[in-house]
Each structure stands twice: as structure tokens, then as C-alpha cells.
Structure 1
Amino acid sequence: MNPFAQIVSSIKRRISSSSQSPMGMPPEPEHLETGVARNWDINPKDFPWFDQPNALELLEKRRSAEHLSDEDYNLLRKWATDGYCVVSGIVPDELLDTMMLEIDQLWIADRVCEGLDFHDLKVGPNDAPIKLTHAEVLALETTERFAARDKSNWRIHSFQEYSPSAKAIFYDAELIRLTSLIFGYPSIPEATINFMYGSAQNAHQDMSVFHVFPPNYIIGCWIACEDISPDSGPLMFYPESHREPLFSEFKDYPQTNLRTASPELTQAYTSYVEELTRKYERHLFHAKKGDIFLWHGQLLHGGSEIKNPKLTRKSYVIHYFPPEMNVGPHMKGPFNW
């Protein structure tokens, strides 16, 4: 058994062996064939414990039944109340530095990472951002390649498949323990992104980007790979906004979300979120290197305005799900990405 499987197995045994546990386990996920459409019946009773009306009562019972430490209890209370929590001291600086060095080396590599893409690269001075494969990036003339690197707000996905250091962070035992603790169910890391600069992304909810069933079984994890300057476009978020329901126009969620929505529905969602942000106070995450921001799938978040585009905002994002609750492979296209 590999180390990751051992971690998940240990957590699952701990949860299932607690006969006093106040939480009902989530419904067993159905084993579906990839690409096969089905009807999805959303029942709020199947939502995670922290989204139940009596979440804080359930937490008190968990504290007793699972002998939670004060630190874990406070983290879970913060999560249930505000929709996020911040931890630090988990990922060593040396590991973050090595990962960033491995990303830098992609631009001068003598071997192609097959399947690795660079998103939103601007090659020509007036060109729109495009996606290029690693092979296409290395084929650019050297000065053109470095110019594209330095002037583009680019990102890469799934770097853990190519980088030993990114993989070590991806499978970090404490991050898996914490996200499993929040779910009350074993978690699996998936869907990573490495950012070099601030995203300047509009506020959104991850539930509207991913296909998750039952709803809200997703945790976002944003790791600062350097001290974040306030002028670089820090992560923005809206505490307590996780209590908002799913966008009502995604009528057959998880089939319909931003990945499958029409342009008209996408615009309706954008307007809806803009209105929601007026209900909550915006916060900025002024992170130090190694700080980790964990957030609920319904928490409004995005990238704040970039005041100095020359400043980097190096970060590594991981998303966690219980097994088989990321149901994206079972959705029917066409897809927007």
C-alpha cells in the first residue's frame, strides 16, 4: 500500500470505528461509467455536517466523540462559522523553493514535459493570451520565450505529475488529515494550479466551477509560495458567504455549472455574484510564505486588483474531495473548458 493510501485508510478506520460519532456518513457514491448522464437528486440532508442547521451542535458532539484537540476544534468552528480557515507551518520553505525552481527550469528545459500546458501566454506584443504546450513554449526563440514568460499572467495545471516537490506537497499527510477532518470523511487531493502572478479573477464559488455531488464536498487550498505583496493582487474572499445556496439557475446541478453553461447563463451567474458581494465584507489574504488558506466550496473568493503588474504572487492551489464526489468525468458536454 502506498503512503497516500495508508493515510486515507487510517482516517477512514478512525471515522468508521467511532460508534459515538454524531455525523451520518455521506451517501455512498454510485460507481458510474464516465460520460454517462443521469438525473441528480439534491437533498440538503446529504450536505456535509458543517452545512447542516445544527452544525455547531454537531461539532460539540464531534469534540467529545473524536477527542478533538483545542486546535482542531477551533479550526472546525472557524470553518463552520466563516467558511474558511488559515494554517501555517505545514509545508517547509525549502520544498516551496524547490518547486518554484522546478517551474523556472521549465523555460530552459532540454526535455519536453508531455501533457503540460501553459495557460494565458501572450507571445506577440498585441496577441491575445493563448494556451501553449510545453513543446510549443520550448520551440519559441529564446528572447521571445522569456518575453512571454515575463509579460504574461500565466499558470500551469497538474504540475505534481512532473515535479517531485509539487507531488510531495500534493500528498502532504497533514493537509490530507486537515481536509479529512473538515469533511469528516477521507479526502483526496486533485486539480492543482500553479500561479506566478495574481489572477485578478472575479469573485466566484468553486461549486460553480467543479461538478461536486453531494454538493459542497470540496475544499480549496491556496498555498503562498512567497511573501505576498499588497500590490500584487492578493487573494480576496468574503467571510460567511459560504452560507449562500447554489445558484438557482443551475437547475440540474452538477450537470450544469459554469463549465457547461450557455453564455447567457454564465452572464446571469456573473451578475448574481456581483450582487452577492455587496452583502459581505471583502477581505484580502496578506499571506506570508507557507501560509495556507482553506476555503468552502461556496465561499466567494477571487483575485484582487493588481496594482503593480511586475510583482509576482507565487502560489500553489490544490482542491480536495472525498472519493468519487468529484463527478466531473460523469458530466455530458459540450464543455466551456
Structure 2
Amino acid sequence: MKLKDKLKDYKPLHWLYNLLHAKQLQHNKDAYKKYDVHKPLFDSISSKDFPDKTSRAWLDVNDSANVVSTKHSFQYFTPDVQQQLIGWSSKGFLHLNRYFSIEQVDEVNKAVDELINQKHLPITHDNKVMHGYKHSPVIKQMMQDEGLKKLLSFVLDKEVLPFQTLNFVKGSGQRAHSDSIHMTTYPLGYLIAAWIALEDIHPDSGPLFYYPGSHKLPYLLNDEFENYSTRLKLGNKQYSDYEDVTEEILSQNHFPKEVFLPKKGDVLIWHANLIHGGTPVANPLLTRKSMVVHYYAKDVIKYHEITERPSLMEEE
């Protein structure tokens, strides 16, 4: 392991980095007070700071089949979306057909190509462009889509804040995981994601897969895969250890596996704890253009469980 990677395990370096980005930590100030957290905003934070390892989100505590139709705003969604909202508690996802127009999608694809070709942003080792919204008004406009935010706010029963975009050119091939190990909230369950198809997705391009109902599993957090940390150092488990445990849990529970083959402009919305990933790329010549937007609920504590770092959020 390189020295640079070893140093990332030491929390004091995280604290220094956080202090240099103090303004981007202010979003947690009121939430720390609300949930009785007594530590500096720049300090490490993880699930061991909280006694409750369950979700308090209303569609986790209640069955969506019984409660969504009681909300006044439910009537403003299309019949198809209403029906899917009724099944949210059992499935953990929604599929919006042709939500974005071909023109909107083409504009985003053009913007992503420009960011890559002009070397504003690199393509990472797992085939994605991070935070394109910071460089492209077109990407930011899709990220901030009002209709999408209203739907996601309905699902969480809290106002949502988009905070990250990931643009994929090719399939990621990522193993099964839940977003909550990366982007975590207290109370649990107040993250939500939207996966947007920027082209018709071919079955050989490494399409997304997910396990309906897997969001009802207990949250797999650091302690649950023995990733024990100290005051000054992160745990010695690797991310691959987390993935191994996730696959073991899946083998024990036998959830059905679905592969997502959407059309251009389709959107898949998934629960914070829904297990998903990318299938292997069968044809490396094929692209799998897509964009993921992650949203936090506004008034909760936002952090990253596996690295025990508070989330950095831009000021509104």
C-alpha cells in the first residue's frame, strides 16, 4: 500500500482537512443540536456515536400501502407513480418511464463529453465523472429538477438536498452494496438516489442490478463487518471485506435479482439501503451512459460511515 493511502487511515488528517472546509460542515450544526451530539463539526463521526441502528423514515416505520394515499400531495402524482409509491415499502424502488426528454438527455451527454474532452474532470478508475454539476449548468439543472425533488421529498417526508452527481460513461462492474455505507444519515434512511439513463441500456454494457426488498435488511455498518476503529485511526477492514459480507447476506436471504434495462430518459429511484451494483461488462465496446444523483434529507446528520467523516455540503 502506498504511503498516501496509509495516511488516509489516520483521523487527525481528516480533522485538518475538515477544518479547512469548515463552511461546508455547517449543515450539521442544527442537526447535532437536535440529536444531542456533543462533538466538534470537524471531528470524526460514525454509527457508534448513535444508539439507534434502525430507520425512522415514515415509509420504513409505516407500510406505504396503508399511508401514502393519506397524504394530500399524493393526488398530484400520475396513476403509475401512485401505484409504485404504494409498493415502496415492499420493493424499495420506483421506475419513472421517459421522465427526462431526449433533448434534456442529449444536452447532458454533450456537457459530459465536453468536461472529459477539455480535461476539466477525469474519468475515475471505475468509469465515472464526479461532481459534474459543479462545472456544468446543464448537469446541475437535471440534478435540481423540481418534479424529481418533490417526489423524493414525498418519499422521505422531508425536504431533500441534492449533493452529488456521478456520470458514468461505461458500466462500473461494482459489486453489490448499499449506499448507506458510503453516504450515511442519522437517523438512518434519509438518503435517496436517482439513477438516470442517458441512453438506451444494452444488456451487454454492464447494466445496473438490484434486489427488490433488500432495503428491509438491517443496515450493514462498520461494526457489523468488524471494521472497528480507534480514536485516532480507522478500522483495518478493506471495502472488499464489506462487499464479501454483503454477498454472504444476499446468499442467505435469497432476494430476487433484477437487471435494469431502461430507455433513454428513464429514472430509477432507490431506497438508502437497497442493495445494488453493476453487472460485468460483456462487451467493452459498449457505453452505459448514465447519471446518478444522491440526495440527503435536509434536517438530519450527514456523514460517511466507512471513513467516519462528516459530509461536506455546499452552502445553499
Q: More deviation in 155-164 or 228-237? A: 155-164
From 83, 97, 104, the counterpart of 1:95: 104
Q: Displacement of 1:263 after TM fit?
A: 4.5
Match of 1:293 in 2: 268
Do 2:181 and 2:304's aligned partners in 1 also have CA atoms closer than 8 Å?
no
From 16, 23, 30, the counterpart of 2:32: 30
Q: Deviations over 1:249-268 (max 9, x none)?
A: 53699x97xxx963436444
TM-score normalized with structure 2 length? 0.74
Matched residues in 1 for 2:275 and 2:216: separation? Answer: 10
**1:105 pairs with 2:114:** yes
Matched residues in 1 for 2:293 and 2:90: separation? Answer: 22
Match of 1:225 in 2: 198
Moved over 4 A (4+): 329-335
Match of 1:118 in 2: 123
Q: Displacement of 1:180 after TM fit?
A: 0.3
Q: Give matches, 1:1-337, under 5 Å.
A: 29-30=31-32, 33-37=40-44, 40-43=49-52, 47-52=56-61, 54-56=62-64, 60-66=66-72, 68-69=74-75, 70-109=79-118, 113=120, 116-120=121-125, 154-247=127-220, 249-250=222-223, 262-264=235-237, 266-278=239-251, 279-325=254-300, 327-328=302-303, 332=308
Q: Deviations over 1:67-122 (max 9, x none)?
A: 6225454232222111111013332221211111122223443xx64xx44312xx
Query: Whose Rg is larger?
Result: 1
Matched residues in 1 for 2:166 and 2:244: separation? Answer: 26
Q: Deviations over 1:126-163 (max 9, x none)?
A: xxxxxxxxxxxxxxxxxxxxxxxxxxx52111111111
Structure 2 gap segments, 5+ residues each: 1-29, 34-38, 312-316
Amino acid in structure 1 at the alignment position of 2:123: F
TM-score normalized with structure 1 length? 0.70
- Percent identity between the two aligned chains: 28
Secondary structure (helix, strand or coil) at the match of 1:182 reads: helix
Number of equivalent positions:
265
Do 2:127 and 2:171's aligned partners in 1 also have CA atoms closer than 8 Å?
no
Aligned-pair Cα RMSD in Å = 3.0
Distance 1:220 1:42, change over 3 A: farther
Q: More deviation in 33-42 or 208-217? A: 33-42
